[in-house]
Amino acid sequence: MKTDSFGQGTLGAIRYNDDVIKTIISMALSEVEGIVGIESRAASNLLSRKSDSHINKITMDGKNLTIDLTIAVKYGLSLRDAAQNVQNKVQEKIEAMTDLKVNAVNVTVAGLDIEE
C-alpha cells in the first residue's frame, strides 16, 4: 500500500492511498456503457472466457497522475468511443473528488465481450 504526499498545508499534508485512486477509477469504469467488469490484475483468471478490464499502473508525480488501463468492451460498440469515454470519465471523477490533476489516461482495448 503506497501513499503519496501532495504538499503541506497550514494544517498538515494530504495524502491519497493508491487503493483510494483505484476505487475511484473502478467506479468511473462502472459508469461507462459497454465496459466489461473491472478487477485487479492479480485476481484475473487466465482461463476465463472473457478478459475483464483492469488497472495496470498508476504513476503519481506530486499532484499529477498518469493512469494505464486495459479494458474489455461489449462486441458491436465503437472501441474508440468506449476508450475515449473511459478517459473522460476517469479524469472527471478523479479531478472532482481530489485535488489531483490527471495528465493522461492511457487505454488499451484488450478484449471483446461476445455474448453467446
Rg of the Cα atoms in the chain: 15
**Do residues 56 and 25 lie in contact, with contact meaning Cβ atoms separated by under 8 Å?**
no
Q: For residue 91, which of 67, 72, 74 has the smallest C-alpha distance?
A: 67
Comparing 53-57, 94-98, 104-108, which segment has the lowest mean pLDDT?
53-57
Least confident piece of the model among 74-78, 96-100, 111-115: 111-115
Place 101 in a pLDDT band, splitting at 50, 70 and 90: very high
**pLDDT for position 48:** 40
- Tell me, what DSSP letter sits at residue 36? -
Task: List the domains of the chain with CATH numbers.
Answer: 18-113 (3.30.70.1350)
Residue 114, pLDDT above cutoff 90: no
What are 59-96's pLDDT values in tens digits?
A: 999 999 999 999 999 999 999 999 999 999 999 999 99
